[in-house]
Every structure is written in C-alpha cells, then in structure tokens.
Amino acid sequence: MRPFRGKTARPDFCKRKENLMASVFTKIINGEIPGNFVWQDEQCVVFATIEPRSDGHMLVVPREEVDNYLDADPDLIAHLSQVAQIIGQAGRDAFNVSRALIVVAGFDVPHLHIHVIPTDSMQVLNPDAKAAGVADGIKASCEKLRSALVEMGYSANVPASLESLG
C-alpha cells in the first residue's frame, strides 16, 4: 500500500470477488442501513448523503462494488454520468439553482460514487463553509427531487418508498 497525505491507502477490497466485507453503500442498497432513495435502475441507485453541502446533495452509486473511478468499466461510467446529469437537472428545478456541481472523490468510502450538489456557487466545496440547516431537511429535499424526477418523466426510476428500494 502506498501512503496518501500521510495515511496508508486502503486495500482494494471492492475489486476482488472474494471480498467478504460489503461497503457501507452496499449495505444501504441492500437495506441493512437506512437510506433516502430518489432513483433506482439495474446499474445504480441515488440516495442522499448524510453530510449534505446543499439541499438536494445526492450520491450516484453503482450497485456493483467498484472502488475507484479510474478502474470502472467505461460503460458504467457513462451510465453513472447520464444519471448524474438527470439528478442535476432535477435538483436545478427542485431547488431553483443554476447548476449542479459534480464531484467524484471516493476517499471516505471504498465504493465509487458521484456527488451531485445543486448550487449557485463553488462555495459549497469550502470546508469552512457550513450548510446551515441542510442536514435537517434531507427527507424533504429527497421528496422534492423525487417529485421533480416524476415531472421529468422518470417515475419508473423513482422507488415507491423513500426509505427502501423495491
């Protein structure tokens, strides 16, 4: 393992078939840990982050455990990007903002995910800026996004329940 910023990099568990420890995102997808879902399809799901930087901050997560964006199949990346764009459009409409910030980081959870953050400013990325009250409205934000997705014609991809996939 090579160090990153003074820390030892995590082993690449997700790429190995013999991985016995599911990522926290897989546990959310499987219903073992609660989640707030706005989208589902055969390849990915979208749910709210527990640390939102703005109203409507979502994570686009593949069902397959892939650790690193750079190691993912190009077709999967294309699909995740398409879904991220749809979620961004819904966020723009639902929260009356001009843009959606897209971030692929993956340092906290060894499972590929794309942050979609509705915003009018890059300030949401400032670690010193606090999104006051945003975490209190996660469920309300999800319901707004779900409604926007239905209005956009994606009702087949909106899970019947906010808190589980069906």
Residue 113 known to be catalytic:
yes
Three-state SS across 101-140?
Answer: EEEECCCCCCCCCEEEEEECCHHHHCCCCCCCCCHHHHHH
CA torsion sign for 130, 56, 112, 121 is negative
Question: For the chain, what's the residue count?
Answer: 166
Active-site annotation holder among 57, 111, 113, 115: 113
List the helix and strand counts (H, then E) for the chain. 3, 7
User: Euclidean distance between the first and final Cα of the chain, in Å?
Assistant: 39
Catalytic residue annotation: 113
